[in-house]
Amino acid sequence: MNRITVYERANFEGLSREFTCDVPDLHELDFGNCIASLKVEGQPWIAYTDPKYEGESYAFEEGEYASVDWPNSFSALRLVHHDLGDPQITLYEHPNFQGACKVVTEETNLAYGYFNDRVASHMVQRGVWLLYQHPGRVVLSTTRLRGTMVRNWASCNSSVGAAGCVDDHIFVS
């Protein structure tokens, strides 16, 4: 069974709620912006800082998290339903999928190649991808699901420095 149990305090203390399906707005359930620890069973979950799956996103694989890096900041939760096998994303140098492109199928630190800070658009072919502004899983820009595209990263006031995938119960990025 896929589920996430969230707690208002670190170390699984205080009020708790258990969810088995997507929650677009935790505030409607009187549990917005108060999660300090959590437990995940089954498929990974993505937590968002704003309702309706907006804002920054953070992925949690199966396991226990006695404390989270950004406590009291989650407003929505989404269960990853997508096939996590054989992930693929295409990164483009220019907006609207133009210019040089790079196909990525595994965790990639773009700082080690020619695509560092050059991603202007992207298209997800398969899997669920986590795009970071900096290497080392620092400052998560966004979570991208299969079929999503961004035509122009400049319009998002962001950049991509690393890409990783959520892979069969292994959080990679």
Verify that 120 and 162 share a domain, yes or no.
Answer: yes
pLDDT in tens, 3-46: 999 999 999 999 999 999 999 999 999 999 999 999 999 988 98
Are 8 and 71 members of one domain?
A: yes
CATH number of the domain that 152 lies in? Answer: 2.60.20.10
| Claim to verify: residue 24 and residue 74 sit in the same structural domain | yes
* Bridge partners, residue 13, by sequence: 9
Q: What is this structure's pTM?
A: 0.69
Which domain covers residue 139, as residue numbers? 88-171
- Is residue 19 within 8 A of residue 3, CB to CB? The reply is yes
Question: Tokens for 75?
Answer: 């407003």
Domain boundary among 79, 112, 135: 79
Domain identity same for 39 and 95? no
Q: What is the mean pLDDT of residues 107-112?
A: 82
Q: Are residues 131 and 159 in the same domain?
A: yes
pLDDT in tens, 74-95: 999 999 887 777 888 898 888 8
Mean pLDDT computed over 100-111: 86
Higher pLDDT, 114 or 101: 101
DSSP H or E stretch at residue 57: strand 54-60
Please tell me the predicted confidence (pLDDT) of residue 144: 53
Q: Do 161 and 95 share a structural domain?
A: yes
